[in-house]
Amino acid sequence: GVTRLPLERGKKLREVLREKDLLQQFFQQHHYDIGAKFPHAFPNGTG
């Protein structure tokens, strides 16, 4: 009833893009806000 699944820690995408000299270009083309994923975060406006 208990099952383990090993995880691998890979290189961060931030590092991959930095090594390929693509990080700056990526940020210029893609604005992102990691909080934008959570529209229901405070449903009653109570933070």
Partner 1 sequence: VATEPLLNALDVEYYGTISIGTPPQDFSVVFDTGSSDLWVPSVSCPSLACQTHQMFDPSQSSTYKSTGLSLSIHYGTGEMEGTVGSDTVTVASLVDTNQLFGLSTAEPGQFFVHVQFDGILGLGYPNLAADGITPVFDNLVNQSLLQENLFSVYLSREAAGSMVIFGGIDESYFTGPINWIPVSYQGYWQISMDRDYFCSTGVTGAGSPPLCSLQHSVNCSSIPAMPDVIFVIDGVQYPVSALAYTEQVSGGSCMSSFQDTSGDLWILGDVFIRVYYSIFDRANNRVGLAKA
Amino acid letter at 33?
D
Q: How far is the CB of 41 from partner 1 (least distance, A)?
A: 5
Q: How would you class 26 by CB atoms within 10 Å of its CB: exposed for 0-12, middle for 13-18, buried for 19 or more? A: middle
Residue 32 beta carbon to partner 1: minimum distance, rounded to whole angstroms: 4
Count of residues interacting with partner 1 (CB under 8 A): 38
Least Cα distance to 27 among 19, 35, 39, 18 occurs for 18
Residues 1-40, mask of contacts with partner 1 (x by CB under 8 A): xxxxxxxxxxxxxxxxxxxx-x---x--xxxxxxxxxxxx
Interacting residue ranges for partner 1, rule: CB under 8 A: 1-20, 22, 26, 29-43, 47
